[in-house]
Every structure is written in C-alpha cells, then in structure tokens.
Amino acid sequence: MEPRPDLDTPPHSAQHAPASPDTAALQPPGRWRLGLALWLLGMPGVLAVVWSLLPPLAASQALLPVPLWAVLLLSGLQTAVMLALAVAVGVVLGPRVGLEAPVLSALLAGGRRTPGADRRWLLAGLWSGAAGGAWILALSTLAPEGLRATHPASDAVTVLVKLLYGGITEELLARWGLMTLLLWLAWRVVQRGRGVPRTMPVMLAVGASAVLFALGHLPAAQAMAGELTLPVVAFVVVGNTALGLLPGWLFARRGLEAAITAHVLAHAVSIPWL
C-alpha cells in the first residue's frame, strides 16, 4: 500500500479525495463487507454493556414497566442500530475524505500491506495508548468525589465494558461515524468538496468529535454522581475531550485500527491501577 497523503497536501483537481489502493479495491459490495465486519467488531462491546445492566435492573425489576428481558433487548437493539448507522456513515463518506480502516480493508481485499505501513499504524497506536493510559491515571487522582470508583476495576464485566465498548465500539461511533461525518461537512463547507481535506477541516472534525465524545459521557457521570455539578461537568468534558483528541488524530493520520489500538491500550494500561 502506498503511503497515505499528508493532511495538508494541496488539493487535487479531482472531485473527491483519492482513496488508498486497499480502500479503492473495496468496491460495492466489498465496502459493505467492510461495514459488516466493523459492525460485528463493535457488537461484543454492545453485549458487554447489556450484560453490565443486568444486575442493577434485576435488583429493581419489580419497578420496570416491561419484563427485564425486554428492557435488555431494547437497550441492546438501540445501541446496535446506532452502531450500524455510524458504520454506514463511515463506509459511505470515509473514502471521500481519505478516512479509512486500512488494515481491515486490505485483509478483505486480499491485499498485503507493506511492513513499514504496518509498523507505522501499530507503533502510533501503542505509544498513544500508553500516553492515554497515563492521562486516565492522572485524571483519576483529580476526579470529584462522586466520580470515584465504588467497585473494583478488576471486575470482569467492568473490564469487558472498558476494553470492548470503550476501546472499540466507542471508536466506531465517535470516530468512524461521527468524525467522518463532521470532516465531510467541514470539507464541503471549507473546500467546497474539492481535493484532499486540508489541515483546518481535519482539525475541526477532530476537535468537534472529541467534544461530542466527551459530552456523551455526561449521562453516565450523572448516574454515578447523582447530579451534574459544575466540577463534575468540567472534569468529564475537559478530561474526555483531551482523551478523544489523540484517537481522532490517529484516525486521520494512520487509520481506524491505530485509533482503536490506542483506546483499548489506554484502558488496559490504566485498569490495574484504578
């Protein structure tokens, strides 16, 4: 696979950003096979979240308006549909703005990536994951009282939710789906849909997706803390925005696999210490 173009490369005369050879090889229905593979990759995280809901819902199932199994099924279906929509957005719009899942695309296309390209995405994901884990640990020492963990992080369900949902499913939702959509919109507005996305549209998409990623953690923070006080909101938004910038940058420069590697590793590194 040829090196991916730099983000600030001058726009070409073509209508859309050129796709990499691996992505270009995935013509319909090949691109939808990629979408199915990504959806299946994110589904274990959805199941882990549903599993985590079982104990608290079972403890209060007498108050539920419908049977417990129906609540769990509807919860899983809602997230699975959201995941499917995010995957579809990335499949349709990603090739237009140069965002891709190069490793999985190459596997599905039957191609082989060069060793140098493999090292670049993997090494970027590894060092970024280590930095992200250090950031999570630093944040844990500053967390407001209501957000401090009340159960051991070594609990199997908690670990699975952090690694599978937090590390993989969230990346498919926040980066593959949301960030791709935001970059496509910024590219259409700033560059009128011409050439390779330049630095400004990419920075806007990375930053906006990181902020929205952080805001998406507020409901869980409210459930933990009981109320969204100013310290709680500031902690959640600032901390998670900073954490979301790194995988966003990796997604733009090295592909989805690098972003997922960084996010999974950040949780894996921090879990034993929390």
Task: Decide which of 179 and 1 is more confident.
Answer: 179
Across residues 206-225, what is the average pLDDT? 92
Across residues 207-224, what is the average pLDDT? 92
CB 38 within 8 A of CB 101: yes
Residue ranges per structural domain of the chain: 21-273
Task: Decide which of 116 and 261 is more confident.
Answer: 261
CA atoms within 13 A on the CB side of 252: 28
Rg for the chain (alpha carbons), in Å?
19
Q: If pLDDT is split at 50, 70 and 90, which confidence band does 191 have? A: very high
Task: Decide which of 20 and 80 is more confident.
Answer: 80
pLDDT the model gives residue 220: 87
What is the 3-class SS of the chain, one letter each residue? Answer: CCCCCCCCCCCCCCCCCCCCHHHHCCCCCHHHHHHHHHHHHHHHHHHHHHHHHHHHHHHCHHHCCCCHHHHHHHHHHHHHHHHHHHHHHHHHHHHHHCCCCHHHHHHHHCCCCCHHHHHHHHHHHHHHHHHHHHHHHHHHCCCCHHHCCCCCCCCHHHHHHHHHHHHHHHHHHHHHHHHHHHHHHHHHHHCCCCCCCCHHHHHHHHHHHHHHHHHCCHHHHHHHHCCCCHHHHHHHHHHHHHHHHHHHHHHHHHCHHHHHHHHHHHHHHHHHHC
Q: If pLDDT is split at 50, 70 and 90, which confidence band does 17 have? A: very low
Burial of 255 (0-12, 13-18, 19+ CB in 10 A): buried
pLDDT the model gives residue 142: 87
Task: Decide which of 14 and 161 is more confident.
Answer: 161
Between 16-25, 64-73, 158-167, the lowest mean confidence (pLDDT) is in 16-25
pLDDT the model gives residue 115: 53
Across residues 63-73, what is the average pLDDT? 91
CA dihedral 159, 223, 49, 253 (to 10 degrees): -70
pLDDT in tens, 133-190: 999 999 888 888 877 765 555 588 989 999 999 999 999 999 999 999 999 999 999 9
